């Protein structure tokens, strides 16, 4: 089951976040975006995303 990190919103199948190493993961999220190149993405900039990957749009 894919989970979303509450801190940086990245989606992961691991039990800890691969980006911020946090363990606050939630299965309760809405929608996701795939960021391929954070430096060229306005959305990534807006969401403060610095690593490529899949990110939840909203975590409840």
* Interacting residues with Zn ion (CB under 5 A): 5, 7-8, 17, 19-20, 22
Q: What is the largest CA-CA distance in the chain?
A: 30
- Yes or no: say if 18 and 5 are a contact pair by the CB < 8 Å rule: no
Secondary structure class of 27 (helix, strand, coil): coil
Q: Which is nearer to Zn ion, 19 or 47 (CB)?
A: 19
Minimum distance, C-beta of residue 12 to Zn ion, in the bound complex (Å): 8
Residue 37 Cβ, how far from Zn ion at the closest point, in Å?
A: 19
| CB closer to Zn ion out of 22 and 43 | 22
Are 29 and 6 in contact, with CB atoms under 8 Å apart?
A: no
């Amino acid at each position: 089951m894919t989970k979303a990190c509450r801190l940086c919103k990245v989606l992961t199948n691991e039990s800890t976040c691969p980006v911020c190493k946090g363990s606050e993961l939630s299965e309760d999220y809405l929608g996701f975006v795939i960021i391929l190149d954070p430096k060229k993405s306005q959305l990534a900039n807006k969401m403060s995303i610095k690593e490529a990957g899949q990110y939840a749009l909203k975590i409840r």
